[in-house]
Structure 1
Amino acid sequence: MKVREIMSKSVIYAEVPGSRSEVIEIMAKSGKSGLPVVKKGTRKLVGMVTKTDLLRNPDEEQLALLMTRNPVVVHVEDDVKKAVELMLKHGIRRLPVVNEEDELAGIISVADIVSKVIPRLNINEPIKAYYRRQVPAIWDKTPLNIAYEVMRLLGSKYLIALNDEAKLSGILTEEDIVKSAEITSSEKKFSSAPSEGTEWDWDVVTIVYIFKKELKIPPDIRVRDVMVRKVIKVNEYTSIRECARKMSHFNIDQLPVLDVKGKLIGVIEDKDLLSAVFKVL
């Protein structure tokens, strides 16, 4: 299976010469927080720029000095296995795809692997060996502003909510938080930044950090007031194929994992499925 069969050919990118403000505008409009960078007027790939680059260099305006040169790439004729291997090795969610002239030809992502590769491979192995035993969990009566801080400190984009009986009651995401919050201008300085693991998602944490704005969350709102209550879940014997199908169908990146008695025992993320794919390819 070749990369060209799986990759997305429609690519949003930045150009050099270019500026910080141009990159931020593209990111904000597209919902992306990582962009391939090409030489202006061509498709020649010269680098990558992510939200982390913007965070690490808050006063730099030139894109040429912000971007990372010599990014990790795959070629259109490479096997998909190589793309998966690079994603696992470097902990990244997407890879630029180049042709023989090193011109940008597409993007291949974890989502592409989940939605296009796993169904072809028909992997019936259970997720038992791949799901995470450490769960970013929180009490569903926790004030939302505290939950946001917990999410930030964990570097997680979601929290699994538990009720008074310590049973799964919902999932809280950053999108749920921003719906109930107000983002206002502020010169507040932060001591840490979001993790690089989410570089391809434009999230509320990105907005707060990059634009030096403050997220104001009403103190009387609890996690249970805004969380998603209808949770799509799996058990430890659910197959890789079925897990991927649910993620693709419901457009979600993570699924709580329950044991045979319905007790929460873990969570599986889309990127956790890559190891199973690599074994089969």
Structure 2
Amino acid sequence: MKVKEVMSKELIVTYVPGTVRDALKTLAKHDVPGVPVLKVGTREVVGVVTRNDIFKKPEEDQLALVMNSDPYVISPDDEVNKAAKLFYEKKIHILPVVDEKRNLVGTLSPTDLLKLLVEKEDKVEDYMSKSCVPVYQETPLPIVMEIISITNENALPVLDDRLKLAGIV
């Protein structure tokens, strides 16, 4: 199956020049962990920015200094297996889908690929990560941000005083 058959054609993006604040607003508004960064006035992909990128440089305001300026990208004609391998091996959660001129034509996320598995009767445990880094609910946010940055995880389970799941950050 080709990437173009499962990619999202709804383009959620941010632009450079731009600010980290603008990127955060986009991430929050659409509840996504990362977005392609386009050169203003074009559809040319010049980077990707994720929450983790922002957590790694919380004092920086300029998006160009925070974003990954050499992101992995994929072609609409590539096989979804190639995308799945990139997601797994590179621990990324957004793939810009680009044409031969590196113009954005769509995006692909692990969730898009999970939709292909819905018809199967596989168990969640066959696909879940076996390791995770929990944090205590009273942990200061700057420390949680540092843990996310070090572990390269996009979400951490939050435990309460009884070691019960209280939420996810």
* TM-score of the aligned structures, taking structure 1 as reference length: 0.49
Structure 1 equivalent of residue 24 of structure 2 = 24
CA contact (8 A) 2:37 2:48 kept: yes
Alpha-carbon distance change, 5 to 51 in structure 1, aligned in 2, over 3 angstroms: same
Counterpart-to-counterpart distance in 1, 2:142 and 2:129: 34
Q: What's the CA shift string for 1:168-227, capped at 9, x where partnerless?
A: xxxxxxxxx8xxxxxxxx9x74373324332xx7x999xxxxxxxxxxx9x8x9958x78
Counterpart-to-counterpart distance in 1, 2:103 and 2:8: 15
Work out whether 1:44 is the aligned partner of 2:44. yes
* Of 175, 193, 199, the match for 2:147: 193
* Of 104, 127, 130, the match for 2:126: 130
Structure 2 equivalent of residue 139 of structure 1 = none
Q: Secondary structure at the match of 2:147?
A: coil
Structure 1 equivalent of residue 99 of structure 2 = 99
Q: What's the CA shift string for 1:207-257, capped at 9, x where partnerless?
A: xxxxxxxxxx9x8x9958x78xxxxxxxxxxxxxxxxxxxxxxxxxxxxxx
Q: Secondary structure at the match of 2:153?
A: helix
- Same amino acid, percent of matched pairs: 32
Structure 1 equivalent of residue 62 of structure 2 = 62
Structure 2 equivalent of residue 152 of structure 1 = 135
Q: CA deviation at 1:48?
A: 0.7
Q: Which has the larger radius of gyration?
A: 1
Matches within 5 A, 1:179-218: 189-190=142-143, 192-194=146-148, 195-198=151-154
Q: CA deviation at 1:106?
A: 0.9
Counterpart-to-counterpart distance in 2, 1:128 and 1:58: 34
Work out whether 1:2 is the aligned partner of 2:6. no
**What stretches of structure 2 of length at least 5 have no aligned partner?**
none
Work out whether 1:110 is the aligned partner of 2:110. yes
Letter in 2 for 1:130: D
- Give the number of equivalent residue pairs: 162
Work out whether 1:80 is the aligned partner of 2:80. yes
Which runs of structure 1 show a deviation greater than 6 angstroms over 4 or more consecutive aligned residues? none
Q: What's the CA shift string for 1:36-74, capped at 9, x where partnerless?
A: 100001110000111121111122111111111110111
**What stretches of structure 1 of length at least 5 have no aligned partner?**
137-149, 154-176, 178-185, 206-216, 228-281
Q: Secondary structure at the match of 1:72?
A: coil
Alpha-carbon distance change, 223 to 11 in structure 1, aligned in 2, over 3 angstroms: same
Counterpart-to-counterpart distance in 1, 2:57 and 2:131: 32
Alpha-carbon distance change, 204 to 24 in structure 1, aligned in 2, over 3 angstroms: farther
Alpha-carbon distance change, 105 to 197 in structure 1, aligned in 2, over 3 angstroms: farther
Letter in 2 for 1:190: I
Alpha-carbon distance change, 76 to 56 in structure 1, aligned in 2, over 3 angstroms: same
CA contact (8 A) 2:34 2:93 kept: no
